[in-house]
Amino acid sequence: MKTVLVTGSAGFIGYYLCTRLLQDGFRVIGLDAMTDYYDVRLKQRRQQMLLQHEHFTAVNDRVETPDLLMSLFRAETPDVVIHLAAQAGVRYSIEQPRSYLESNICGTFELLEAARAYPPEHMLLASTSSAYGANSEMPYTETDKADHQMSFYAATKKATESMAHSYAHLYHLPVTMFRFFTVYGPWGRPDMALFKFTKAILEDRPIDVYNHGDMRRDFTYVEDLVEGIRLLIDAVPQRLEEGEAVPKGDSLSPVAPWRVVNIGNSNSVQLTDFIEAIEAATGKRAERNLMPMQAGDVPATWANADLLQKLTGYRPKTNVQEGVAKFVTWYRDYYGV
């Protein structure tokens, strides 16, 4: 039985990923700080469900705690590490940038140092579509330059990509970075648009629609995302031999066993269409409060998922109408609406 260390295990994506890994026969060590960035009761409930499985172990602490990860690696010697723990949210990074520095930068440093001392077979680290920043050519491809991040959140995540690359090169650590694209679904985060819109619509309150609704997102259903991560575990990057060229379309580093992979639905959906899907699922019309673009945000995202398909044979496929309906059903049940 292989051991997987998952950081951010009580988070939205972490919960689904741990559930899938346990179903597939892995032993899972879940590390989570259980912070109050959003309603901690959601995190506690997710963790309680995971703890019902005999092969799940929970560790409640912060990834940036000095020597915590070193001790955990020493004791558990994980075969695979999946690093999801991070301070999330573009807008919150304007209000509380230090929390992003500590969690995203310092936390990832602690992880990389532990992996250097106790190397796993494969490390998979979460990044974000926000790393593409000011890029206007779409769909986003992993080989595109990504030098102009537009929020401190995005800057910290891009920094972790570079940090991981240096460790992959220096210490021969196989690393896959994955860039997520607007993940949604049941058990989602309350600070995300789907959660906020659904809550407001069901409570007959107006919703704030930024950039007057002229925004597009590559909405990715959470179970599709987790399927991509699960399959990428076995797609371990290999260091190129001297004189060997990087395959066309691959983001593999020429000097390290490191690559970055988009996990997105390959379909950029207009925000107004997303709202209409929520209206259809709730059976209620939304009162829309049209707002200007928020600082640090981008007008559109759109993933090219060809590399994911080349590496795993898989491509996310759940459409917005289906995924939103599943979320609204969960929301009504969980909150008794």
Task: Respond yes or no: is residue 140 known to be catalytic.
Answer: no
Q: How far is the C-alpha of 130 from the C-alpha of 151, rounded, in Å?
A: 8
Q: Which of 15, 38, 140, 153 is catalytic?
A: 153
Contact 164, 257 (CB under 8 A): no
* Cα 281 versus chain centre, distance: 25
Q: How far is the C-alpha of 215 from the C-alpha of 230, rounded, in Å?
A: 30
Burial (0-12, 13-18, 19+ Cβ within 10 Å), 196: middle
**104: DSSP letter:** I
Name the residue among 247, 270, 254, 251 with its Cα closest to residue 262: 251
Which residues lie closer than 8 Å to 235 by C-beta, 6 or more apart?
176, 311, 312
What is the DSSP annotation of 198-250? HHHHHTT--EEEGGGG--EE--EEHHHHHHHHHHHTT----PPPTTPPPPTT-
Count CB-CB contacts under 10 A for residue 288. 15
What is the DSSP annotation of 264-281? --S--EEHHHHHHHHHHH
Q: Catalytic amino acids?
A: 153
